Amino acid sequence: MEVRCHKCGRAYSSIIPPSCICGEGLEITYDYSKVDVKKWRMRNRGVWRYKELLPEVKKIVSLNEGGSPLFKAKLSKELGLEVFIKDETRNPTGSFKDRFATVAVSYGLPFAENGFIVASDGNSAASLAAYAARANKEAFVVIPRRVDKGKLIQMIAFGAKIIRYGESVDEAIPYAKELAKLNGLYDVTSASNLIGIEGQKTLAFELWEELKPTHILVPTGSGSNIYSIYKGFKELLEIGAVEEIPKLIAVQTEKCSPIASEILNIKGKKEFTKALALYVKDPLNKEKAVRAVKESGGTAVLVREEELDMGERLLTKEGVFAEYASAVVVPALLKLKEENYFEKDDKIALVITGSGLKSFYEEKERSIMTGTKLEILRLLRDKPSYGYEIWENISKPMKYQAVYQHIKELESLGLIKEAYKRGRRIYYTLTGKGARILENLEE
């Protein structure tokens, strides 16, 4: 492995920053003339099968990540295309980030006396938590306010120290960097550390071995994944295994599209999207991701928020349960098919980055807001009301105590509040939050 700035010639070893001190972006390279891909086939599947193109490490911290299944999508028939699913949900912690973590943690071990740190909106943090546990090291994870519940549960289960910071991961990144410096932690955030990219790029090697795709649709948040896949194929090009890089297609949501909108040369938004892993407003890997897509001759697709459920549903018909942030590739595929973007012999790979089991951000508000509670909210929307009156108007026969309990819970959730008192009667009304939730549920 070598890291040399191609502008000023400075070489880097041990801790490798994303950019040279002269400002130029750095890239890890290898002696490509020595790589013999035939050797790969003799080894077990997984990230470390490709060790000649990975950083040298003293000790590998692994949970047998990578080597995820690839299978033909049933959708192929319907669309008259050759579509394949690369199911990254089958990694140890349920996302492609385990490819990143195994290499970053293995490499960082000598520098992580006090532990590891990552800024993440979920998957990287859950993954780091697992690999740090495996390595007997502390994991510190800086996560934004809103994080998918399943990912949070993983972080907690693996004993990570959780630091909540900021609205989206954008704010968490510099904070993690600062904490790393102050506390002697090894920062594995992809925006601050190039090493993990090396692990992620093995996805490209697998796709090449198994499929030789012409097009790859990649859910794109921070841009690190699509860049990694690009780097993987560029190295295959370098060693003479391929003649060209497959067309890379970056998929984002219309709500938050800093990378896709640049590729498409349109004005993009940076709003909250329920595809949480794609809620990155100013991705630090943006330039790299845009360049990767452009150099591959690919494109970008924007997916509407309303299409996320459809994407998730169509994937479940394939037997794959994906998070929204991964399911985006399905509506993107349909859109490109509609535009006659593909040719008949194209081989299209959909990268399904993370499991749906991990991603129930809205679950709490949704599941709680069924039946009686929803009915109470509706009653209170019309006019303020008190306990007995509410009880009388509830359609389902139930005990007053049960209704009272619902009222108390709605109050503690901040969805209703005391409006005024008349005698002993407490009149309740909707809070702003309650009104918004009701509105969302009735859309």
Contacting positions for Zn ion (CB under 5 A): 5, 7-8, 10, 20, 22, 24
Q: Which of 1, 58, 57, 59 has the alpha carbon at shortest distance from 26?
A: 1
Please, what is the minimum distance in Å from the beta carbon of residue 25 to Zn ion? 9
Is there a contact between 118 and 165 (Cβ–Cβ < 8 Å)? Answer: no
Please, what is the minimum distance in Å from the beta carbon of residue 22 to Zn ion? 3
- Residue number with CB closer to Zn ion (28 or 142): 28
- Residue number with CB closer to Zn ion (22 or 402): 22
Please, what is the minimum distance in Å from the beta carbon of residue 13 to Zn ion? 15
- Residue number with CB closer to Zn ion (21 or 398): 21
- Residue number with CB closer to Zn ion (14 or 395): 14
- The greatest distance separating any two alpha carbons of the chain, rounded to the nearest whole angstrom, comes to 87
3-state SS class at 422:
strand
* Three-state secondary structure of 298-349: CEEEEECCCHHHHHHHHHHHCCCCECHHHHCHHHHHHHHHHCCCCCCCCEEE
Please, what is the minimum distance in Å from the beta carbon of residue 24 to Zn ion? 4
- Residue number with CB closer to Zn ion (7 or 313): 7
Please, what is the minimum distance in Å from the beta carbon of residue 319 to Zn ion? 48
Q: How far apart are CA 309 and CA 416, in angstroms?
A: 29
Neighbours of 113 (CB within 10 A): 11
61 — alpha (psi -120 to 50), left (phi > 0) or beta? Answer: beta
Q: Which of 200, 292, 290 has the alpha carbon at shortest distance from 246?
A: 292
Is there a contact between 298 and 215 (Cβ–Cβ < 8 Å)? Answer: yes
Is there a contact between 116 and 186 (Cβ–Cβ < 8 Å)? Answer: yes
- Residue number with CB closer to Zn ion (5 or 280): 5
Residue 203 tokens, joined:
């996805």
- Residue number with CB closer to Zn ion (9 or 397): 9
The residue count of the chain comes to 443
Please, what is the minimum distance in Å from the beta carbon of residue 4 to Zn ion? 9
Amino acid in the structure at residue 427: Y
Please, what is the minimum distance in Å from the beta carbon of residue 23 to Zn ion? 7
Amino acid in the structure at residue 108: G
- Residue number with CB closer to Zn ion (209 or 287): 287
Please, what is the minimum distance in Å from the beta carbon of residue 286 to Zn ion? 20
